[in-house]
Structure 1
Amino acid sequence: MHHHHPCNRKPIILSFFFVLYLNLHNQQTIEARNPSQFTIKPSRDVSIPEIKRHLHRFGYLSKDNEPDDVLFEQALARYQENLGLQITGKPDSDTLSQIRLPRCGFADDVEPKTTPLHTKQKYVYFPGRPRWTRDVPLKLTYSFSQENLTPYVTPTDIRRVFRRAFGKWASVIPVSFIETEDYVIADIKIGFFTGDHGDGEPFDGVLGVLAHTFSPENGRLHLDKAETWAVDFDEEKSTVAVDLESVAVHEIGHVLGLGHSSVKDAAMYPTLKPRSKKVNLNMDDVVGVQSLYGTNPNFNISGLLASETSTNLADGSMIRFEEIMYSTLTTFMAMCFLNW
């Protein structure tokens, strides 16, 4: 008797898993009122008025009226949901710790979730799903402002870090990023600036806004020159040092059209601890950006899953049921595609 390989009935199996794949990745849209901005706050106690100001700033509370207890609890619950915290509606210790963390100043997606399945895949887009539109194959140029650099990192290291950061995204989508010396005509313009630098979003010095980026096809990627940028924490001992590559990877995601994710391990998650690194793309980042640009034909999904699994096991975190379910489904999809 002839035995069929489980992947032989490809149209049925792939269609079934494709539907589950889409359900697991229900995309959301954020309102692009301001450029994306990373901010950082020192570790300290957080008062109720400060919590309210935080919720106001990131879109959870209206700025018109002082919230009553019910509105405050509802806003805090939405914040907890978007940041992947336990939803209590109370200013518990985990929530206060999260509020103290460095984060992106861009407002979060605060609309109620309507995901068909409770998953951690929560990537979002800018309104209208803007993306770069060029002739295929898509090639984007980037350049650095030679007049606007940082004293903390050499130009050579800056170029190396951004080349690596662009490479992370290029490895999963059919887009090439090419460095050019011509800053004026480059698609993506990168520079370190201080204070009011002409884009309507002035930087505010140390421990304030770290960087800001605009949605496609703007291409401006600005970093605060006042911050202590680092490429090696063994060399840079400052307690407020910020990893340049981690911010670069995050901001390039915005340049490509992604908003914030509620997946804590995602590069597009809105917070980043000082003296910490988050330079690798999570499956949530990958699926989000691939839904905008398609898939790099050389993309190895099994390698990404192996990397995510080893990271989860290494840091001792528990892998929840839906994560196991998702990884299993995605691995099975990869096997089917490989045997297509």
Structure 2
Amino acid sequence: MAPKLSLLLPCITLLFLLFLHQSHAHLSESNDKTTSAFEFIIHYKGSRNGDKVDGLHKLKNYLENFGYLSLSHSKLNQTYAKSDVFDDLLESAIKTYQINYNLEVTGELDNNTVSMMMMPRCGIPDIINGTTGMRSGNKMQYHYGSNLFQIVSHYSFFPGKPRWPRSKTRLTYAFLPGTHQAYLGPVARAFSKWASVSSFRFSQIENYENADLKVAFYSRNHGDGNPFEGPGGILAHAFAPTDGRLHFDADEKWSDGVVPGSFNLESVALHEIGHLLGLGHSSVNGAIMFPTIPAGVSRNLAPDDITGLKWKKLLDKDASV
């Protein structure tokens, strides 16, 4: 009996390990080496106002993409965008970034700032049309009926607070035909989590064109004016109500659960669905609406996310806000 038991135990252990592997599985094939599309930023670490650093114009492009610099297509600004000089305008943009991400406000590319900028993130800008709601501790006042509420806001909304029609709380979603079957479960769970804390209800349908919310995985330039740039940069982006498009970068390493070196698809989907419902980025590191997320990390809805969506529903009921 003892010899049989000794042979059985290794088999049970092997089956258990295989179960763990399957329950936290890679969903996409990719090279083992983890790269980042934002790795170039590390070359500017330690730079400050007055410096001239080869390639610094790439950082200006990065900050413009996420709303911290506004460069028109005039010849003057095109010249500035190609300049490698660290000037007052760049220092001001970096200070705003540091405020939004709860970093020490130095205006310099210190270690913490560079590390945060290099993090994989959502493609939606932090500042849209010159408006940001991310600043931690920003007091906001809301009128509801005859009452005045004053709260400390960490979450934010898209400018103009776009919303789904008040009568439309049941939304359909569909995946682009040909989407990897392994992607469907994590995204569906993300929809279910938002439904559990809101009045929205989501149902999956097969007809992609007729769905309220359209989910797709694309590589590089995919025709919406917001191209992906490869692994470890922009993970996904979604459009404000009532557009309904949600795009993931197909070149990323996606996983179901926490897998070192891979991005938790459910966590990223939770973030992007927040955008589909009208939420902007949060300054709370750890909230699902915080713009960045490292590989091998799982996040869930935080009180800040839930409060943001509930306040949005409250504000939608009162035109005086």
Per the shorter chain, which TM-score range?
A: 0.5 to 0.7
Structure 1 distance, partners of 2:267, 2:40, is 20
- Matched with 2:288 is 267
Is the 1:174–1:294 contact (alpha carbons within 8 Å) kept by the matching residues of 2?
no
SS in structure 2 at match of 1:74: helix
CA 1:94/1:177 → structure 2, altered by over 3 Å: closer, same or farther? same
Q: Percent identity?
A: 41
- Matched with 1:222 is 247
Is the 1:85–1:95 contact (alpha carbons within 8 Å) kept by the matching residues of 2?
yes
CA 1:196/1:135 → structure 2, altered by over 3 Å: closer, same or farther? same
35, 43, 47: which one pairs with 1:46?
Answer: 43
In structure 2, runs of 5+ residues without a counterpart are: 1-35, 48-55, 72-76, 141-150, 316-321
138, 158, 165: which one pairs with 1:126?
Answer: 158
- Matched with 2:223 is 198
SS in structure 2 at match of 1:221: strand
Cα offset, 1:72, TM superposition = 2.7
In structure 1, runs of 5+ residues without a counterpart are: 1-38, 296-340
Cα offset, 1:102, TM superposition = 0.9
Aligned length: 245
Q: How does 1:25-174 map to 2 (within 5 A)?
A: 41-42=38-39, 45-47=42-44, 48=47, 49=56, 50-63=58-71, 64=77, 65=80, 69-109=87-127, 111=131, 115-116=138-139, 121-133=153-165, 135=167, 138-147=169-178, 149-150=179-180, 155=181, 157-174=182-199
Q: What TM-score, normalized by structure 1, do the two folds share? A: 0.64
SS in structure 1 at match of 2:186: helix
CA 1:115/1:192 → structure 2, altered by over 3 Å: closer, same or farther? closer
- Matched with 1:284 is 304
Give, as a single letter, the amino acid of the residue that structure 2 aligns with 1:93. Answer: N
Is the 1:125–1:259 contact (alpha carbons within 8 Å) kept by the matching residues of 2?
yes
Structure 1 distance, partners of 2:184, 2:218, is 17
Cα deviation digits, residues 108-139 of structure 1 (max 9, x gap) = 1365869348x973212112211111536x20
Give, as a single letter, the amino acid of the residue that structure 2 aligns with 1:83. Answer: Y
Find out whether 1:247 has 2:247 as its counterpart.
no
Cα offset, 1:68, TM superposition = 5.6
Cα deviation digits, residues 80-120 of structure 1 (max 9, x gap) = 00011122222221111111111123221365869348x97
Q: What TM-score, normalized by structure 2, do the two folds share? A: 0.68
Give, as a single letter, the amino acid of the residue that structure 2 aligns with 1:221. Answer: L
CA 1:202/1:54 → structure 2, altered by over 3 Å: closer, same or farther? closer
SS in structure 2 at match of 1:292: helix
Structure 1 distance, partners of 2:295, 2:264, is 8
Cα offset, 1:246, TM superposition = 1.2
Cα deviation digits, residues 221-259 of structure 1 (max 9, x gap) = 11122221111445xx6x3x2211111001000100111
Cα deviation digits, residues 53-76 of structure 1 (max 9, x gap) = 432332223432357633332221
Structure 2 distance, partners of 1:126, 1:54, is 20
CA 1:91/1:120 → structure 2, altered by over 3 Å: closer, same or farther? farther
Structure with higher Rg: it is 2
CA 1:293/1:62 → structure 2, altered by over 3 Å: closer, same or farther? closer
Give, as a single letter, the amino acid of the residue that structure 2 aligns with 1:270. Answer: P
Structure 2 distance, partners of 1:40, 1:173, is 35
Cα offset, 1:292, TM superposition = 2.2
